[in-house]
Structure 1
Amino acid sequence: MATLGDIGVSAAINLLSALIFLLAFAILRLQPFNDRVYFPKWYLKGLRSSPTRSGAFVRRFVNLDFRSYLRFLNWMPEAIRMPEPELIEHAGLDSAVYLRIYLIGLKIFVPMAMLAWAILVPVNWTNNTLELAKLSNVTSSDIDKLSISNIPLGSDRFWTHIVMAYVFTFWTCYVLMKEYEKVATMRLQFLASERRRPDQFTVVYNSNKLAKLVKKKKSMQNWLDFYQIKYSRDQSQRPLKTGFLRLWGQKVDAIDHYNSEIEKLSKEIAEEREKVETDPKSVMPAAFVSFKSRWGAAVCAQTQQSRNPTLWLTEWAPEPRDVYWQNLPIPYVSLAIRRLIMNVAFFFLTFFFMIPIAFVQALASIEGIEKRAPFLEPIIEIKFIKSLIQGFLPGIALKLFLIFLPTILMIMSKFEGFTSLSSLERRSAMRYYLFNIVNVFLGSIIAGSAFEQLNSFIKQSASEIPKTIGVAIPMKATFFITYIMVDGWAGIAGEVLMLKPLIIFHLKNFFLVKTEKDREEAMDPGSLGFNTGEPRIQFYFLLGLVYATIINVYNQEYESGAAFWPDVHGRIIIALIISQVLLIGLLSTKHAAQSTPFLIALPVLTIWFHNFCKGRYEPAFIRYPLQEAMMKDTLERAREPNLNLKAYLQNAYMHPVFKGDDDEEDEDISEKLVTESVLVPTKRQSRRNTPVPSRISSASSPSLTEVIKEHPEP
């Protein structure tokens, strides 16, 4: 069992790691050769150019302006002081609401922590139950005296925990209701004030084969560009292409070869495009329907179109960036079968994953290591090493073991047939959260040494499970403290450093980059990662409630208008109910059964509160109010009486391979991003100490008027 000293060692290691990561980020972001890693969004939007190649050779890679290092931490206060309206304007509502999840955590847990330390800690600490238990060889540490374990059986002090459970529940529900109301209002205001979007007004073809041909042609064109650049630098001989890895195959002129291959592919693409457009079998039973007004679109999307409700299924179209084209050809009748298969697969994944997690947790302990590697016992018994193993190793082992889980869950969501990126991420996030509850929370509680003490877990009835888990929870409190330190402190600071993208970019740049287009594709700004970040935060909420008794990098892949907020609210409610049920189970084992009936009302009231919020606020995230739609239509007709909606909507939901005369243009990353949305720069000054100015302005951040002038709206 980890002691207070072990937790202190873990805290010191993780705080030091977080500090090192943040300092490394602050310095590495100033170096010119890292500019595309830490500011890829600005490059992809065309608002930032490559570092100049004039001057000393070392200046191409290292920032020698020592004045910039004096202000290298300015980005922290500037980022914290960014107003929410400016953040919404710059990064979208999804990003702003995602950050509000962190603020909810502060609003809920700071007052709860103050109350717990002022009321519950003195109630628990001023007992001698654990001191007396040590006489019976019961292992405990000083930190356990802060918990409910130090209260003697049948004590009236348990009433304090019951009263505080009501206080914590009411406070959590109050904060959730206010936030739900706030986010719903923000969503309606965002939809009302936002620029015209196709999905507010708005025959799909199966072109997956055509998309593969276009992708292949793009690769060929990239190789052709490489050899042409190579030949332009040295015209003494034409570049040659041979077989696989240049080990065998006929030698041919590389430029002529790729020109010939591209010409063949162009003919195949033209034939396939004509086939897709003329073959009735290529037409899918789905369509994006456009309307002249938002009011008409709202009426159609939110009403039943035929007597048979399955004949015409209508729903709001996601915005064009949000469409996941690969899943559109999937027949509707197969969706239910696919989702059933994935639900069964997720069930087995969740419960069979508990076996290796329990094995890893057993190994990542003093007893497990000494049992399987007894020759290491002299080293393990060293005080610092022992504290390191007990306070740091279990958390990092579990973190590493789950590293591939998000990718697996996203593949499962794609197989289910969801047609938008936002729905894929919400589905994956829901499963990630459930997986964390079963494996990380419950699995860690009943695994390892706790499982040995609770070997009758499987034999017990369902009504006894809350009692069993309630008894085991105090045993694992220190593990969850260290896990949050590893995952929340060092883990998030490591994400700021972006170590993985930094290494991958420079490896690609050294080995794979042949052309400027390759360099652009080597920049992977990524996104907020809602499918992993949000359930991770929600898991912290679960642990907190149970134990209580984005700016220059991430590119906005889509804008859902905070459609994920009902899921956030629901998962916090689930955590609240779990904490209440486990408290009932724990008190029933403390000879306080006469007081547990007073806790039964808590889950009932919490469920009622959830249903109230669901009925009061959730419609704003599902439907578009007709009053709002009509008001926006009226204002738009007054401001733009000559607006040609047909021209605006003509290609809004066309598959990328059909757009334009040349399919290569559709694959141009920067052009695509610029036409999708204009990047609104922030008013923060934290970018003044970066080594490379934007292309548009000599200032560190281009002004709004300058951006709009260069990229006017269509």
Structure 2
Amino acid sequence: MNIAAILTSAGINVAICVVLFSLYSVLRKQPGNVNVYFGRRLASQHSKHLDLCLERFVPSPSWIWKAWETSEDEILASGGLDAAVFVRILVFSIRIFSIAAVICTVLVLPVNYHGQERMHTDLPLESLDVFTIGNVKEGSKWLWAHCLALYIITSAACTLLYFEYKSITNLRLVHIIGSPPNPSHFAILVRSIPWYSEKSYCDTVKSFFSYYHSSTYLSHQMIYKSGTVQKLKDDAEHVCKVIRGASREKTCKPSFTECWCFQGTNSFEMISNEIDIGSVHERAGYTDKHLDARKKMQECPAAFVFFKSRYAALMTAQTLQTSNPMLWVTDLAPEPQDVYWSNICIPYRQLWIRKIATLVASIVFMIVFLIPVTFVQSLTQLDNLHKLLPFMTGMLKKKFVIQVVSGYLPSVILVLFLCAVPPVMMIFSAVEGSISRSGRKMSACCKVLYFTIWNVFFVNVFAGSVISQLSVFSSVRDLPAQLAKAVPSQATFFTTYVLSSGWASLAIEVMQICPLLYNLFQRVILRVKDDSEGGSLSFPYHTEIPRILLFGFLGFTCSILAPLMLPFLLFYFFLAYLVYRNQIINVYITKYDSGGQYWPIAHNTTVFSLIVAQVIALGVFGLKHSSVASGFTIPLLICTLLFHQYCRQRFLPIFRSNSAQILIDMDLRDEHSGSMGEIYEHLSSAYSQSSLVPDASNQTKCFSTHEDKRSDQSSEDIEKGKEIIQKNDTPWDDNHTLSSKEVPGAK
């Protein structure tokens, strides 16, 4: 590929960006699109002003200035800590690749261009290979420039990473301390609750925590089976019992044809409301005992348990409750709006099977994905196209067609295939069993990141047949040499990929094409004119963070090998900085916040990128017979690993758990201010399931409160716990079984 081909690809993407950005600047001013482009803030003053102004039909860059002027505090207020961390990732990328672009353009690029004595043609017709390290002759003393540039880039990256990690850690601490009382700080999630035939899960939880955590236990909230199928099943059973009890003369058999008598609805609530439930219960003997038994069958072996202090909840969540780690499993509870209810009731013993299954499925999907990508990529080669499509021989001889096919088509095809990856990985992450929506999205983010790095970098580096791509890793010792040979030759493809997947994706992101078409369908076809409600889109971290980190990975690995890519990459990060800030403050709704948990992913990926870049440089210096440069690269590799280990010890624990010091200070502050009572009252309604069982109104009966004074209500709970535990003089043993009478099947 020559300079003309890469400029053709850049020109196509610039044209696409200019058209879409101009169209966006007009569409965002239309009152009918306020739900699409201003989901976060719908202001009637803004809409009225647009109705009277003719400027809304003229493209303008006003949104760029507003995005640029937005402060970090406004980002925190609009998108939460996760959004602020996302912007900091972009800021870090801009800083480090600005340094890399200056160093490599001034120091490395001239060395690569004049690496061998040859006659250079006109610049547009120059092959991009002359700008790579492959053009430097073996044994050249100028390889010191590449080694020096690698040292500067690595040192700058580690320094910036350290200060960013420290700054984001402080933001996380401020986020925890300065936020209003969070119910998740007082709550833990208990799963794998043992089953007893004489007791419900609710009574078991109450007895256990009243006895073993009597001084700190406050209350608990049971989790019920939910979902559309479960609700239909429970409604059908309930209505059958009601109709059978209400009919004196004719017995209603609980068959499908007689009991499933609904019309146009998925609930039997309309039928049950027309019948006198009280009289039915009197006639059929449908007493509270039956309701309690029915509710008992709908309980899940999981519950939210609340404590009187944040510190008590933290200690309980991190403590092994019994000698059997598969029973009474405790974790810190997610925020109420972050709970992924459909996964709460998954049996804890299934989780390890689910994780293994999703890991195997992800690997299989990653391997199978090689087949269409490799096949389509092979078709983009001109020689293969001449053989497979002989009738296009004349067209493929045209200069512009050659430039489009070689400089634009391969990256576009790969981008189209990769569009199917995030939804699939999100399904895998849901099946995996995450208890929080942020955890599911974070897991999908990691899967998409691994997938894209493998397919975009390694698969395309070792382009060819699938067999050759897999056999190249037969020897680990040959890996640096193989990468050193392959990466410089594929650097031009990575440059076009940055243009196609980077620049164009930002234009599509700001346009919001799917929500725009849906809004148009609502207004034109369905005639819906309501603008009172904004959009409901949450920020797609699982797609955008992997894309940014992938580009960072390509930038680090190709910085000294093919520095011509850095200006295109730097422009992408500048543009992404403006686009995503605009989307955060205007479009996306913050439904939940992981507390900045995405930064460790970004840090680990950046360090991995530096290590891969150093390994490739080590292989290149070996191939170029520069033993001195190779020798100086090894200490750099060791220092990078030591730096990463230091950050893991210094900062990572703060992201894994809250510190006891901070939680105790917050507890003392709330006690002195007298706000603990209000916090306790709020806990009773914080975790409410959106889809409960039909008799969910009785759920409050199972929300037991453990008063501060043990001599009052808690004494009865303690005595019950002692009575259960002291039977047969047997404590809660390894299997948490008491006796053969209490636990069915126990020996």
- Structure-2 residue corresponding to 1:229: none
Q: Give the one of 170, 173, 184 matched to 1:188.
A: 173
Q: Give the one of 494, 499, 504 matched to 2:513.
A: 499
1:541–1:642 CA distance, 2 compared to 1 (3 A): closer
Q: CA deviation at 1:49?
A: 10
Indicate the larger mover: 505-514 or 607-616: 505-514
1:199–1:49 CA distance, 2 compared to 1 (3 A): farther
Query: In 2, are the aligned partners of 1:587 and 1:593 still within 8 Å (CA)?
Result: yes
Secondary structure of 2:509 counterpart: helix
| TM-score relative to the length of structure 2 | 0.74
- Structure-1 residue corresponding to 2:402: 386
Query: In 2, are the aligned partners of 1:30 and 1:63 still within 8 Å (CA)?
Result: no
Write out per-residue CA displacement over residues 481-530 of structure 1, whole angstroms, 9 at most, x where no aligned residue. 111011111111210011122113323554567896xx989x75422111
- Structure-1 residue corresponding to 2:67: 79
Query: In 1, are the aligned partners of 2:226 and 2:693 still within 8 Å (CA)?
Result: no
- Structure-2 residue corresponding to 1:373: 389
- Structure-1 residue corresponding to 2:152: 167
- Structure-1 residue corresponding to 2:90: 102
Q: CA deviation at 1:420?
A: 0.7
Query: In 1, are the aligned partners of 2:227 and 2:691 still within 8 Å (CA)?
Result: no
> What amino acid sits opposite 1:529 in the alignment?
P
- Structure-2 residue corresponding to 1:701: none
1:123 aligns with 2:111: yes
- Structure-1 residue corresponding to 2:4: 5
Q: CA deviation at 1:402?
A: 1.1
Once residues 459 and 67 of structure 1 are traced to their aligned partners in structure 2, the CA distance between those partners, rounded to angstroms, is 59
Q: Give the one of 658, 678, 681 matched to 1:647.
A: 681
> What amino acid sits opposite 1:173 in the alignment?
C
Secondary structure of 1:339 counterpart: helix
Q: Where does 1:401-480 land on structure 2 (aligned, <5 Å)?
A: 401-448=417-464, 458=472, 461-480=475-494
Q: Where does 1:486-635 land on structure 2 (aligned, <5 Å)?
A: 486-511=500-525, 524-549=535-560, 550-593=584-627, 595-635=629-669
Once residues 216 and 380 of structure 1 are traced to their aligned partners in structure 2, the CA distance between those partners, rounded to angstroms, is 65
Once residues 508 and 657 of structure 1 are traced to their aligned partners in structure 2, the CA distance between those partners, rounded to angstroms, is 27
> What amino acid sits opposite 2:311 in the alignment?
W
Query: In 1, are the aligned partners of 2:426 and 2:441 still within 8 Å (CA)?
Result: yes
- Structure-1 residue corresponding to 2:16: 17
1:323 aligns with 2:339: yes
> What amino acid sits opposite 1:438 in the alignment?
W
Once residues 100 and 24 of structure 1 are traced to their aligned partners in structure 2, the CA distance between those partners, rounded to angstroms, is 28
Q: CA deviation at 1:638?
A: 3.7
Query: In 1, are the aligned partners of 2:13 and 2:499 still within 8 Å (CA)?
Result: yes
Once residues 267 and 411 of structure 2 are traced to their aligned partners in structure 1, the CA distance between those partners, rounded to angstroms, is 56
Query: In 2, are the aligned partners of 1:94 and 1:559 still within 8 Å (CA)?
Result: yes
Once residues 499 and 477 of structure 2 are traced to their aligned partners in structure 1, the CA distance between those partners, rounded to angstroms, is 33
Which has the larger Rg?
A: 2
1:204 aligns with 2:222: yes
Once residues 274 and 108 of structure 2 are traced to their aligned partners in structure 1, the CA distance between those partners, rounded to angstroms, is 76
Q: CA deviation at 1:8?
A: 0.7
Once residues 276 and 165 of structure 1 are traced to their aligned partners in structure 2, the CA distance between those partners, rounded to angstroms, is 70
Once residues 80 and 660 of structure 1 are traced to their aligned partners in structure 2, the CA distance between those partners, rounded to angstroms, is 51
1:6–1:291 CA distance, 2 compared to 1 (3 A): same
- Structure-2 residue corresponding to 1:676: none
Secondary structure of 1:173 counterpart: helix
Query: In 2, are the aligned partners of 1:42 and 1:48 still within 8 Å (CA)?
Result: no
Q: CA deviation at 1:87?
A: 1.6
| Root mean square deviation, CA, Å | 3.5
Secondary structure of 2:610 counterpart: helix
Q: Give the one of 366, 369, 389 matched to 1:353.
A: 369
Q: CA deviation at 1:594?
A: 5.7
Query: In 1, are the aligned partners of 2:549 and 2:606 still within 8 Å (CA)?
Result: yes
| TM-score relative to the length of structure 1 | 0.77
Once residues 32 and 498 of structure 2 are traced to their aligned partners in structure 1, the CA distance between those partners, rounded to angstroms, is 34
Q: Where does 1:297-312 land on structure 2 (aligned, <5 Å)?
A: 297-312=313-328
Write out per-residue CA displacement over residues 275-325 of structure 1, whole angstroms, 9 at most, x where no aligned residue. 698443433232212222223223323344445544443222110111111
Query: In 1, are the aligned partners of 2:326 and 2:348 still within 8 Å (CA)?
Result: no
- Structure-2 residue corresponding to 1:241: none
Which runs of 5 or more residues in structure 1 are unaligned? 53-58, 135-139, 218-254, 664-714
Once residues 291 and 635 of structure 2 are traced to their aligned partners in structure 1, the CA distance between those partners, rounded to angstroms, is 64
- Structure-2 residue corresponding to 1:27: 26
Once residues 682 and 489 of structure 2 are traced to their aligned partners in structure 1, the CA distance between those partners, rounded to angstroms, is 62
Once residues 256 and 280 of structure 1 are traced to their aligned partners in structure 2, the CA distance between those partners, rounded to angstroms, is 29
Once residues 277 and 158 of structure 1 are traced to their aligned partners in structure 2, the CA distance between those partners, rounded to angstroms, is 79
1:547–1:661 CA distance, 2 compared to 1 (3 A): same
Secondary structure of 2:332 counterpart: coil
Once residues 376 and 265 of structure 1 are traced to their aligned partners in structure 2, the CA distance between those partners, rounded to angstroms, is 70
1:582–1:279 CA distance, 2 compared to 1 (3 A): same
Q: CA deviation at 1:50?
A: 12
> What amino acid sits opposite 2:458 in the alignment?
L
- Structure-2 residue corresponding to 1:680: none
Once residues 264 and 638 of structure 2 are traced to their aligned partners in structure 1, the CA distance between those partners, rounded to angstroms, is 72
Secondary structure of 1:205 counterpart: strand
1:646–1:129 CA distance, 2 compared to 1 (3 A): same
Once residues 424 and 80 of structure 1 are traced to their aligned partners in structure 2, the CA distance between those partners, rounded to angstroms, is 31
1:311–1:327 CA distance, 2 compared to 1 (3 A): same
- Structure-2 residue corresponding to 1:485: 499
Indicate the larger mover: 454-463 or 6-15: 454-463
Q: Give the one of 101, 104, 114 matched to 1:113.
A: 101
Indicate the larger mover: 598-607 or 90-99: 598-607
Q: Where does 1:44-55 land on structure 2 (aligned, <5 Å)?
A: none
1:71–1:155 CA distance, 2 compared to 1 (3 A): closer
- Structure-1 residue corresponding to 2:212: none
Query: In 2, are the aligned partners of 1:457 and 1:468 still within 8 Å (CA)?
Result: no
Query: In 2, are the aligned partners of 1:328 and 1:419 still within 8 Å (CA)?
Result: yes
Query: In 2, are the aligned partners of 1:204 and 1:284 still within 8 Å (CA)?
Result: yes
Write out per-residue CA displacement over residues 350-388 of structure 1, whole angstroms, 9 at most, x where no aligned residue. 122112111111122333332221211222222222212
Aligned residues with identical type, % of pairs: 30
Once residues 272 and 40 of structure 2 are traced to their aligned partners in structure 1, the CA distance between those partners, rounded to angstroms, is 32
Q: CA deviation at 1:212?
A: 6.1
1:399–1:291 CA distance, 2 compared to 1 (3 A): same
1:459–1:199 CA distance, 2 compared to 1 (3 A): closer
Query: In 1, are the aligned partners of 2:100 and 2:559 still within 8 Å (CA)?
Result: yes
Query: In 2, are the aligned partners of 1:130 and 1:150 still within 8 Å (CA)?
Result: no
- The aligned length equals 601
Which runs of 5 or more residues in structure 2 are unaligned? 188-220, 236-261, 278-285, 561-583, 698-747
1:35–1:277 CA distance, 2 compared to 1 (3 A): farther
1:552–1:467 CA distance, 2 compared to 1 (3 A): same
- Structure-1 residue corresponding to 2:209: none
Q: CA deviation at 1:457?
A: 5.1
> What amino acid sits opposite 2:159 in the alignment?
Y
Q: CA deviation at 1:215?
A: 13
Query: In 2, are the aligned partners of 1:105 and 1:541 still within 8 Å (CA)?
Result: yes
Q: CA deviation at 1:106?
A: 0.7
Write out per-residue CA displacement over residues 645-687 of structure 1, whole angstroms, 9 at most, x where no aligned residue. 3321111112113499999xxxxxxxxxxxxxxxxxxxxxxxx
1:513–1:583 CA distance, 2 compared to 1 (3 A): farther
> What amino acid sits opposite 2:77 in the alignment?
E
Indicate the larger mover: 626-635 or 5-14: 626-635
Secondary structure of 1:113 counterpart: helix
1:520–1:627 CA distance, 2 compared to 1 (3 A): same
